[in-house]
Amino acid sequence: SAVGRGPEVPFSSEAYRISATSRGKELRLALVPLGTGPSQDLVFRLGISPPHHARLRFRTRENPPRALCFIDARRFGSWRLGDAWQPDRGPCVLSEYQAFRENVLKNLDDKAFDKPICEALLNQKFFNGIGNYLRAEILYRLKIPPFEKARTVLEALKEQEQARKKKNPSLTLSKKVKLMRENPDLLELCHTVPMEVITAEKKMFDPEHSDNYAAFKDWLQCYLVPGMSSLRDHNGRTIWFQGEPGPMAPKGQKSRRKRVQLKADPEAPIPEVTTSASKRRPRAAANPPKPVTEEEEVAGRLRRGRSRGRRKATAAPDTPEVPVKAKRSRRRGKGEA
């Protein structure tokens, strides 16, 4: 694509095979000619949204042709020539779970863990593959405040693991897996929660299934779910959670709560809601309003002029408009008729 940010791909072949390998948030393609000629590797990072945002396309020679597209609507993604993964990304939470776990626990003195746990979970050096919706779901399941210090959370986990090894030094692999499923910790959920999405019966991210997004929404327990609270972290990313945000929450920012949408019961009584607007101007009752005299109307406008200095005087409903010229002084809140 002309607007693609990646380098030109110097590869040409009458027929070739494409194979793929993923690691965290990266995808490596290998282009291998079916005849003679050199092969070509490309490593992609991140790509989302509709097909018309395809930045790089591999077309078949069929009629009509099919295409394998690298899709990136917001231009977050890119590709590089060669087969090397990005050096600043850690082991994949899915395919390299044990290495991922060890990489986190042996580096808890890193400054990345001075930050809140919700921000540390997006650091691809240690949590390669975890994104915004996954961090919300993981913390929600463990009831961990998102702005708890990351090192505090993970050091406690390290101590628990050491105590478990001392208590049961001869655990078999099957027993370890069973314990992990019964009492998962944060690092284990970093592996199992995204696996739930990948191995779901309904293809949650398959465009061939029209109900894929509905299935994904049903799977979510916290992210964008009505009733949950949200805050922007120090990087400007929104984190969804339930309960207290934690001691490292950004200062001067109020938690927003997503409204719960309930189905209306036709037989239920309508609750009375008192708001500041209803206090200023209560809604008219079922009975028709009493007739308002011209003097009462002018007096009412004067009162409104004092309390709402910048609001223009208007006629009351169902009464003839009284021609009154309002002259306002420069001092706020003063009005003269």
The answer to whether position 123 is within a domain reads: yes
Q: Are residues 116 and 39 in the same domain?
A: no
CATH of the domain at 161: 1.10.8.50
The answer to whether position 271 is within a domain reads: no
Q: Are residues 242 and 175 in the same domain?
A: yes
Q: Are residues 72 and 195 in the same domain?
A: no
Q: Are residues 114 and 239 in the same domain?
A: yes
Q: Are residues 46 and 156 in the same domain?
A: no
**Cα angle, residue 327 at apex, residues 325 and 329 outer, rounded to 5°:** 170
The answer to whether position 329 is within a domain reads: no
pTM of the model: 0.58
Q: Are residues 131 and 71 in the same domain?
A: no
DSSP per position, 36-102: SS--EEEEEE---S-GGGEEEEEE-SSSSPPEEEEE-TTS--EEEESSPPPTT---BTTTTHHHHHH
Q: Out of 219, 249, 279, pick the residue that ends a domain.
A: 249
The answer to whether position 54 is within a domain reads: yes
The answer to whether position 292 is within a domain reads: no
Domain housing 175: 97-249
pLDDT tens for each residue of the chain, 337 residues long: 666 667 888 888 888 899 999 898 888 999 999 988 899 998 887 654 445 566 777 888 888 888 788 777 666 677 888 888 888 899 999 999 999 999 999 999 999 999 999 999 999 999 999 999 999 999 999 999 999 999 999 998 887 777 766 666 666 656 655 555 567 899 999 999 999 988 886 667 655 566 677 888 889 999 999 999 999 999 999 999 999 999 999 998 887 887 765 444 444 444 444 444 444 444 444 444 444 444 455 455 555 554 444 444 344 444 444 444 444 445 544 454 4
Tally the domains of the chain.
2
Rounded CA separation 136/123 (Å): 14
Q: Are residues 61 and 175 in the same domain?
A: no
